[in-house]
Amino acid sequence: MTEAKYIWMDGELVPWRDAKIHVLTHTLHYGNAVFEGTRAYQTDRGLAIFRLEEHCKRLFNSAKIVAIEPNFDYETVKNAHIELLRSNDFSSNVYIRPLIYLGYGVMGLYHSHAPVNTMIAAWEWGAYLGEEGLENGIRLCTSSITRNPNRSTFGKAKAAANYLNSQMAKYEAIENGFEEALMLDENGFAAEGTGECLFIVRDGKLISPPNDNSLESITQATVIELAGEMGIEVQRRNITRDEIYICDEAFLTGTAAEITPINSLDHRVIGNGRRGEMTKAIQDAYFDIVYGRDEKYARYLTYI
Ligand SMILES: Cc1ncc(COP(=O)(O)O)c(C=O)c1O
């Protein structure tokens, strides 16, 4: 990890190496915290955060879902993102990680009396699934791990505890020689990747599962908006793993993964085994937006 200068901790800019917490921090033991993954891109007009409002809204919604009362208001947290990026000298693209967590002072599962803390860190981070992956695609496997079921967890919250599920699925995929895992829901339909949503292309149409069993993804929403503008029909419906085997193209979307083509699933080559034409067109359009080259989407960028 590339270190930066400062981390924003409860209203203060703290030198990176001094941003420490106590070992009895509540979240460290019981996993209740909410976070975001947001990106800022180096545009011609300097660093710009992509869809800051939407990420901050989801952060506060996540906190509401897991019954954490944030210790700062929405505007303060949003502005702290900007302050943090201004205080660090970033020369390439940046990943931003705000986290609202339960701090030190209370133990036991009843969390309501635990203090709440907020931190925002940012560091220079390239393509999550590799530059090579963005261009040539990645190999996926269907995970043996079912995506967190709605009856036992809160999938609309980007909550730390949800990611044990994703982490185990990712571990299994990598150890088995794949780059990423596809998790199915309890009914056997494609839910999402470990940190991405799924799209497939069939007969010129773009298909993505509904968000019944996935995070409400900001990248997915952006792609759907883009597709509408490009005249591509979008269907939101359930997808089975064998439909993915026989689709024409497939890709994953996420703030970290951006638009990453899928070459194969469970060793079945998808399409021609390379980035498909529609995937490339959507990828290009997405990068035009995040790099500030598409004026129509200027509203999604917060310049630093
Ligand atoms: C489980 C999960 N699904 C989907 C996504 C994609 O969401 P977004 O496009 O908002 O980054 C993420 C990443 O945040 C994720 O962690």
Q: For atom 16 of ligand 1, which residue has the closest CA?
A: 195
Higher per-residue confidence, 111 vs 132:
111
User: In whole numbers, what is the pLDDT of the chain averaged over residues?
Assistant: 97
- The 10s digit of each residue's pLDDT in 212-222 is 999 999 999 99
Q: Is 279 in the pocket of ligand 1 (CB under 6 A)?
A: no
Instruction: Answer whether 147's CB lies under 8 Å from 192's CB.
Output: yes
Q: For atom 13 of ligand 1, which residue has the closest CA?
A: 195
Q: Walk me through the domains of the chain, giving residue ranges and CATH numbers.
A: 6-124 (3.30.470.10), 131-290 (3.20.10.10)
The CA 202 to ligand 1 mean position distance, Å, reads 23
Residue carrying the six token digits 């609202």: 100
Residue 261: predicted pLDDT: 97
In this model, does residue 174 exceed pLDDT 90? yes
Atom of ligand 1 nearest to the CA of 256: 11
Residues with Cβ < 8 Å from 280, sequence gap 6 or more? none
Q: Is 209 in the pocket of ligand 1 (CB under 6 A)?
A: no
Q: Is 195 in the pocket of ligand 1 (CB under 6 A)?
A: yes
Q: Is 197 in the pocket of ligand 1 (CB under 6 A)?
A: yes
- The 10s digit of each residue's pLDDT in 33-76 is 999 999 999 999 999 999 999 999 999 999 999 999 999 999 99
The CA 273 to ligand 1 mean position distance, Å, reads 25
Atom of ligand 1 nearest to the CA of 58: 10
- Beta partners for 254? 258
- The 10s digit of each residue's pLDDT in 229-284 is 999 999 999 999 999 999 999 999 999 999 999 999 999 999 999 999 999 999 99
Atom of ligand 1 nearest to the CA of 222: 9
The CA 215 to ligand 1 mean position distance, Å, reads 6
Q: Is 192 in the pocket of ligand 1 (CB under 6 A)?
A: yes
**H/E run at residue 302:** strand 301-303
The CA 257 to ligand 1 mean position distance, Å, reads 9
CA 199 remoteness from chain centre: 15
The phi-psi region of residue 201 (left if phi > 0; otherwise alpha if psi is between -120 and 50; otherwise beta) is beta
Residue 97: predicted pLDDT: 98
- Reply yes or no on whether 158 is catalytic: yes
Instruction: Answer whether 304's CB lies under 8 Å from 82's CB.
Output: yes
Q: How many CB atoms lie within 10 A of CB 119?
A: 20
Dist CA 93 CA 48 (whole Å) = 9
Dist CA 283 CA 259 (whole Å) = 6
Dist CA 101 CA 176 (whole Å) = 33
The CA 244 to ligand 1 mean position distance, Å, reads 20
- DSSP assignment of 36-88 equals --EEEEEETTEEEEESHHHHHHHHHHHHHHTT---SS-HHHHHHHHHHHHHHS
- Confidence band, pLDDT 50/70/90 cuts, at residue 131: confident
Strands 268-269 and 258-265: antiparallel
The CA 232 to ligand 1 mean position distance, Å, reads 23
Q: Is 218 in the pocket of ligand 1 (CB under 6 A)?
A: yes
Straight-line distance from the first to the last Cα atom of the chain, in angstroms, rounded to the nearest whole number: 23
Residue 46: predicted pLDDT: 96
Q: What is the number of alpha carbons within 13 Å of residue 221 lying toward its C-beta?
A: 11
240 SS3 class: strand
Q: What angle do CA 229, 59, 187 make, to 5 degrees?
A: 70
Q: Is 88 in the pocket of ligand 1 (CB under 6 A)?
A: no
**Active-site annotation holder among 156, 158, 170, 280:** 158
Q: Is 162 in the pocket of ligand 1 (CB under 6 A)?
A: no
